[in-house]
């Protein structure tokens, strides 16, 4: 009996590894499309990717797989949920259920509608014409409601959508933490806006040659522990990180010669994602014990290296001399203090993707609150721009002059991504809570950064998070490591401690 069950488990593992070969091939084709592919290759590439996607979907929903997983779920192999076998069975069963609950007609309709949604959105944003986008957005919201109903939920409909990106997380919990964060963050941001201190931002807008940025960025990424023998850095329009094999992690960036932070902190961010992917157990590649936990945990890794490490004073105590050499024209007359203040500039702004690490969360909270109202049918699509502007007034003290710079700025809703936004702020929250613990466990991390020692932190993250794969949910993982559930305090404490002295707040 036990032998038979072990044989079924091995069959499932082999099946998953083969599916992963198709998936990683698709990833590689998509990486190529966004980096080096000649423009005229697009049409055939779309066919290749669609064909592979079809094969992959068939494999994920194959009834044979469902039968094997049902057998295993009832076997003693599934009894210990955090073991390698228990984790594999639980997570594969979860994915199988999710993928087979959605009727094919709904999946097809959503794909068709979100392609049209994105095309309509591009034009509507360009023309500042929300009315042109509203009808298709209304249809997308209605279909996402159907999707949520098909997937099922216990407490509220938004749970079903959130669960796709942050498995097992609950809306009520995210609402509790983000509301507490909002209430503490709003007065902090307001006090900063009223401060008479401001950094000299022009120093970041001098000329920073792309080649020097690339060399300097690579040096920093390698120093913090991104392994270039198992990865690459290339140029793209919309930076991303992708994993195309157990020892093959590709990060990307774009260089703006007149604004230093965009590529440099972008590289640290993507390297943070990459370090997570490189730290997943290679022997379980394609299986749940070798996969990342959730988007929120993935984002916590990128945000930690980008912000808690990369924007710290100690990081620049180590790197500033090298930066002065690499960008001697731009930084010749700039002091470390001036540079440190400039890269930590905080101010209420309209555009999420350009926001600093403090106000960024308010942008997310606004979207999280509005998309819940939309999906619960408490807010009509036509009333969305007014509701958006009202929240920007309330939380950030500013009002978008146009819908293009307001409710039309993000691609997410047009692409059917509802329930995705909160994972960005979960990433910031997890990052701060985990970093505080790492600092406690390892002892004075910032002083190590000043000496150029970043590997102790990477090794700590590897052991505590990366090596765990999907053995625990994100919430369990954070509670196991820090001894308490997710809390907004570590993030707000970190922001106050850093920004208070810069802006002369009490």
- List residues binding Zn ion (CB under 5 A): 302
* Beta carbons of 302 and 273 less than 8 angstroms apart: yes
Q: In the complex, what is the shortest distance from the CB of residue 479 to Zn ion, in angstroms, rounded to a whole number?
A: 23
Output the DSSP codes for 447-496: HHHHTT--HHHHHHHHHHTGGGTTSS-HHHHHHHHHSS---SHHHHHHHH
Comparing CB distances to Zn ion, the nearer of 302 and 414 is 302
Calculated CA dihedral for residues 153, 154, 156, 161, nearest 10 degrees: -30
Angstrom distances, CA of residue 259 to CA of 66, 179, 337, 353: 52, 33, 18, 15
Comparing CB distances to Zn ion, the nearer of 242 and 437 is 242
Comparing CB distances to Zn ion, the nearer of 88 and 302 is 302
Q: In the complex, what is the shortest distance from the CB of residue 305 to Zn ion, in angstroms, rounded to a whole number?
A: 11
Q: In the complex, what is the shortest distance from the CB of residue 106 to Zn ion, in angstroms, rounded to a whole number?
A: 29
Q: Which residue has the tokens 């290749």?
A: 48
CA distance 451 to 57: 49
Comparing CB distances to Zn ion, the nearer of 87 and 365 is 365
Q: In the complex, what is the shortest distance from the CB of residue 165 to Zn ion, in angstroms, rounded to a whole number?
A: 12
Comparing CB distances to Zn ion, the nearer of 388 and 420 is 420
Angstrom distances, CA of residue 296 to CA of 166, 419, 425: 6, 12, 8
Q: What is the pairing mode between strands 248-253 and 241-245?
A: antiparallel
CA distance 22 to 354: 35
Residue with CB nearest Zn ion?
302
Catalytic, out of 95, 147, 270, 306: 270
Beta-carbon contacts of residue 490 (< 8 Å; ≥ 6 apart):
429, 432, 433, 435, 436
Q: In the complex, what is the shortest distance from the CB of residue 295 to Zn ion, in angstroms, rounded to a whole number?
A: 8
CA distance 440 to 437: 5
Comparing CB distances to Zn ion, the nearer of 213 and 302 is 302
CA distance 317 to 449: 8
Q: Give yes or no: 194 in active site.
A: no
CA distance 265 to 262: 6
Comparing CB distances to Zn ion, the nearer of 277 and 371 is 277
Q: In the complex, what is the shortest distance from the CB of residue 192 to Zn ion, in angstroms, rounded to a whole number?
A: 24
Q: Which residue has the tokens 């423009």?
A: 39
Q: In the complex, what is the shortest distance from the CB of residue 149 to Zn ion, in angstroms, rounded to a whole number?
A: 30
The pair phi, psi for residue 205, each rounded to 5°, is -105, 15
Comparing CB distances to Zn ion, the nearer of 271 and 379 is 271
Q: Residue 225, by phi and psi: left (phi above 0), alpha (psi -120 to 50) or beta?
A: left
Q: In the complex, what is the shortest distance from the CB of residue 299 to Zn ion, in angstroms, rounded to a whole number?
A: 5
Tokens of 465: 């998070």
Q: Can you list the pairs that 155-164 forms with residues at least 24 positions away whose Cβ atoms lie under 8 Å?
A: 156/376, 157/375, 157/376, 158/371, 158/372, 158/375, 158/376, 158/419, 161/375, 161/418, 161/419, 162/419, 162/422, 163/419, 164/98, 164/419
Q: In the complex, what is the shortest distance from the CB of residue 341 to Zn ion, in angstroms, rounded to a whole number?
A: 25
Comparing CB distances to Zn ion, the nearer of 24 and 302 is 302
308, 300, 248: which is closest to 277 by C-alpha?
248
* Beta carbons of 257 and 207 less than 8 angstroms apart: yes
Residues designated catalytic: 270
């Amino acid at each position: 009996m036990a032998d038979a069950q072990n044989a079924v488990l091995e069959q499932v593992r082999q099946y998953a590894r083969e599916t992963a070969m198709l998936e990683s091939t698709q990833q590689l084709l998509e990486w190529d499309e966004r980096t080096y592919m000649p423009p005229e290759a697009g049409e055939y590439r779309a066919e290749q990717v669609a064909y592979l996607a079809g094969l992959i979907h068939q494999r994920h929903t194959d009834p044979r797989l469902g039968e094997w997983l049902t057998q295993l779920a009832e076997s003693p192999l599934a009894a210990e949920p955090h073991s390698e076998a228990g984790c594999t069975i639980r997570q594969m069963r979860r994915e199988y259920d999710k993928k087979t609950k959605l009727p094919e007609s709904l999946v097809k309709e959503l794909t068709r509608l979100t392609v049209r949604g994105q095309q309509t959105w591009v034009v509507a944003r360009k023309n500042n014409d929300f009315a042109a986008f509203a009808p298709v957005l209304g249809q997308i919201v209605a279909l996402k409601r159907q999707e949520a109903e098909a997937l099922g939920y216990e407490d509220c409909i938004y749970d079903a959508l959130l669960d796709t990106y942050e498995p097992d997380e609950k809306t009520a919990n995210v609402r509790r933490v983000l509301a507490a964060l909002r209430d503490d963050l709003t007065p902090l941001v307001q006090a900063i806006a009223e401060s008479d201190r401001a950094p000299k931002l022009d120093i970041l807008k001098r000329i920073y040659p792309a080649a020097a940025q690339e060399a300097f960025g690579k040096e920093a990424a390698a120093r913090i522990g991104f392994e270039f023998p198992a990865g690459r850095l290339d140029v793209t329009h919309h930076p991303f990180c992708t994993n195309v094999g157990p020892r093959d992690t590709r990060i990307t960036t774009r260089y703006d010669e007149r604004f230093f932070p965009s590529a440099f902190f972008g590289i640290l961010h993507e390297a943070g994602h990459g370090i997570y992917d490189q730290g997943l157990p290679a022997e379980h590649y394609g299986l749940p014990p070798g996969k990342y936990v959730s988007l929120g945990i993935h984002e916590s890794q990128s945000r930690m290296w980008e912000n808690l490490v990369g924007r710290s004073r100690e990081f620049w105590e180590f790197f500033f001399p090298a930066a002065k050499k690499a960008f001697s024209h731009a930084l010749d007359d700039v002091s470390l203090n001036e540079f440190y203040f400039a890269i930590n500039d905080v101010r209420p702004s309209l555009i999420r993707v350009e926001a600093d690490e403090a106000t960024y969360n308010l942008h997310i909270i606004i979207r999280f609150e509005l998309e819940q109202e939309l999906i619960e049918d408490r807010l009509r699509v036509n009333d969305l721009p007014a509701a958006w502007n009202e929240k920007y007034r309330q939380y950030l003290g500013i009002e978008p002059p146009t819908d293009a710079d307001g409710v039309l700025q993000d691609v997410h809703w047009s692409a059917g991504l509802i329930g995705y936004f909160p994972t960005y702020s979960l990433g910031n929250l997890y990052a701060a809570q985990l970093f505080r613990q790492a600092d406690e466990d390892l002892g004075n991390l910032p002083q190590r950064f000043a000496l150029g020692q970043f590997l102790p932190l990477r090794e700590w993250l590897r052991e505590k998070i990366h090596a765990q794969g999907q053995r625990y949910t994100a919430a369990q993982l954070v509670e196991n490591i820090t001894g308490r559930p997710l809390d907004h305090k570590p993030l707000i404490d970190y922001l106050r401690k850093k920004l208070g002295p810069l802006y002369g707040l009490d």
